[in-house]
Each structure stands twice: as C-alpha cells, then as structure tokens.
Amino acid sequence: MIKILTVLAIIFSGFLSVLIRGGDSLYDILKAAPLQDYMSGSLSGKIDRAVFDAIPRSAGLNGFSGGLLYKGLRDAGPQVWAGCNDWLYSAEELRVDDRDAEPMAARLRLLPHLVQAFAERKILLIVVPVPDKAEQVEEQLCGISADASRVRANAWAHAASATKLHQVNLRDQWPRPGYWRTDTHWDSAGAHFAAEAVAKLVNGAMGAGTERISLTRGVRHERPGDLTRLAGLQDGPKWLAPAAEYAEDARTAIQRSGGLLDDAAAPSVLLAGSSFSQNSGFIEYLQAALAREVAQVSEAGGGFAGALLKLLQQKPEMLAGAKVVIWEWPMRSLVAPLSDAERQMLRQIEGH
C-alpha cells in the first residue's frame, strides 16, 4: 500500500505542477486551435510541447522525486541497485548479457601478452583483481544474488591458472563489508587490507623497503558516495537519501635523506590501476606497508587495463627504472566494451 501511495503521490504532484505552470498555455492552445488541427492530429504535438515546457526542471526537484522513489519503492534508477539498509550497488555488477562473453574472452586473450610485455622488460607485474562489491557484500542485495559476479570471477580464475601470474587474492579473508554503503569502491578497511596483501607479495619478491614513511589520518568528514550521485539522490532532502557516511583520509609523509635540492630517485614501484587505486587511501596504505615510495599512474575509468596499456603504448619511458608494476583493476570491467587501446593491441597480436 505504501508503494502504491508513493507512486500516486509522485504522479499527482507532477500532474499538478504541470497544470500550475502550463495551464494557461494549454488553454490558449485549445482555444485558438482550428478544427483542422483537431482532424490532422497536429494539435497533439502542440499539447505535447506545451506539457514538456511546463515540466519543472531543477536539481532539487529531481532529487526530491528520486528520493520519493528510493524511499517508497527502493528504486534508485537504471544504473543503481538499491539493496537493504541503504546499501547501493552498481547495476554493471549485476547485469547479465549474452554479449558479455565476447569482451571477456578478448581480454583473457590479452592477458598472457600483457604479462609477457613486462617480463621482457624484467619488471615484476603484480595483478590485483578487485572483486565485485555485489559478491563481497551479497547479503545486502535483498532479493537477488551475485551470480554474474561469480561467473566473471570463475572465468578469470580459469584463465589465470593457465598463465604464470603474481596475483593477489582479495576475495578470501576479505574484511567485510570492506566497501562503502553508497559507493562502488572499497572503504578504508578494504583499502588497508588490499594494500597489506599487495605489500606482502611485493616485499616477498623484492625484500623489505627501507624508506621512512609515516602514515596519519585527517579530520573526519562526510563522504558523498558515487552511487548516491549516480542515482540522483544527492540533491534531494537528506531524509529521502541513504544515510551519510564519514571518512578520515589517510596521508603519508616520506622522510628523505639529503638536502632540499638533492634529486630523489624515481620510484621503482608503479601503481597502474583504476579509481580503486585513487580512493580510500589505498596508495597511502600501500606506501606505508612497502616502506617504499609508489608512483601513481592510475586512471579513473581505466577499466581493465587502461593505465597499464598507456604505460606500454604511450609512456614507455616511465618503465625505464621500474622494478615492479602493480596492476589493479575491477572484476566488473571484464565485460565492459573494449577500449581503443585494447582493440589496437588485439590487432597487433592477431595480425589484422
């Protein structure tokens, strides 16, 4: 009953606002319309335009209507799945499409060639697949399961087993929840866990670092979630949106030896990841755990191998002094449309 009343309230409020804002225009159109307009159907076009022009447009109003749908129907729009207890999920992680097999298979064909490209340069490539939030916090999905996430994870595991990889496993022993409620990314606990797992593998191969790196936390502040923005809920009343979340940003300070004018050596560790590598203090936790400075070359929206391919194809000079490249990417990116850089490398591999 609550859901029905919510829908009726939204419809009625929208109808009422159109009448208030566009009633005079509609009356003038109907009053002045000749009989020919009624017979030809052109009158309906004029009415449609008048109604469209009368629809109120504002971020606040959109946020209010979106908030009503969210609170009343647990509907967060086509790009966001609203789970239980104010948990939001990217719809990308949950969708199932027969066409997903093609881009996933293409990326799995790329994998051994990417590994080989760094092996030829005598650079240790550390692979860090980020599990889907839907799979790691499946209990809050409410009514659906993370089957699509498991399909991708299993396909990757099968391909990885056929390729010699230095890979970090983040699916097991994950510090649940490890993700923000209203964001696609891991929270500070998840970022810290991922950084420690990566550092353990890197230090096991290279030996412990020796740089003096201190880690501090900033002032607690409200952290708007990207899924809240994507659902259009950030501009409405707070009581109609998911509860706010708060963060304390991690910060690192590197104590260098020598004078201020001494040139510091370029970092031998590069982080080529996605927005996960740029969020929640991951690189700060990583540098502290490694006791080494890390060069950030990650790209928001880089998907599967955006930052990695940019290093190989556009900025190979950055690899000259590198000993380790950490390749972080979100598991959901396996089924995203192929990028131009990925297509280019596939053409080179397959000879056409």
pLDDT of residue 296: 96
Instruction: Say whether 111 sits in a helix, a strand or coil.
Output: helix
CB atoms within 10 A of CB 117: 18
CB atoms within 10 A of CB 289: 20
Q: pTM to 2 decimals?
A: 0.81
Smallest CA-to-CA distance from 316 within 308, 324, 305 is with 308
pLDDT of residue 261: 47
Distance CA 225, CA 218 (A): 18
Pairing of strands 166-167, 124-130: parallel
Binning pLDDT at 50, 70 and 90, where does residue 56 land?
low
- What does the mean pLDDT of the chain come to? 85
Distance CA 19, CA 55 (A): 9
Q: Give the residue-averaged pLDDT of 194-201.
A: 97
Percent of the chain with pLDDT over 90: 64
Distance CA 327, CA 246 (A): 28
Q: Give the residue-averaged pLDDT of 136-159.
A: 94
Distance CA 224, CA 226 (A): 7
CB atoms within 10 A of CB 152: 22
pLDDT of residue 266: 83
pLDDT of residue 229: 93
CA 214-219-221 angle, to 5 degrees, is 135
pLDDT of residue 310: 94
pLDDT of residue 102: 93
Tell me the angle at which helices 282-290 and 188-206 cross, rounded to the nearest 10 degrees: 30
pLDDT of residue 238: 87
Least confident among 90-94, 96-100, 267-271, 277-281: 96-100
Peptide bond into 177 cis (omega under 30): yes
DSSP one-letter string for 312-327: HHT-GGGGTT-SEEEE
Distance CA 246, CA 6 (A): 30
SS3 content of the chain, % helix, strand, coil (to 5): 50, 15, 35
Binning pLDDT at 50, 70 and 90, where does residue 143 land?
confident
DSSP one-letter string for 164-201: --EE---STT--SS-B-TTSSSB-HHHHHHHHHHHHHH
Binning pLDDT at 50, 70 and 90, where does residue 332 land?
very high
More confident residue, 246 or 28: 246
pLDDT of residue 235: 83
Least confident among 16-25, 72-81, 282-291: 16-25
Flag whether pLDDT at 342 surpasses 60: yes
Flag whether pLDDT at 25 surpasses 90: no
Instruction: Tokens for 225, please give them.
Output: 């979630």
Percent of the chain with pLDDT over 70: 80
Smallest CA-to-CA distance from 91 within 139, 63, 132, 150 is with 132
Flag whether pLDDT at 161 surpasses 70: yes
Distance CA 348, CA 114 (A): 12
- Residues 90-127: tens digit of each pLDDT: 999 998 888 889 999 999 999 999 999 999 999 999 99
Pairing of strands 124-130, 88-90: unpaired
Smallest CA-to-CA distance from 90 within 149, 176, 175, 143 is with 149
CB atoms within 10 A of CB 276: 22
Length in residues, the chain: 352
- Residues 214-237: tens digit of each pLDDT: 999 999 999 999 999 999 998 888
Q: Give the residue-averaged pLDDT of 238-245.
A: 91
Q: Give the residue-averaged pLDDT of 144-158.
A: 94
- Residues 44-54: tens digit of each pLDDT: 655 556 555 55
pLDDT of residue 88: 97
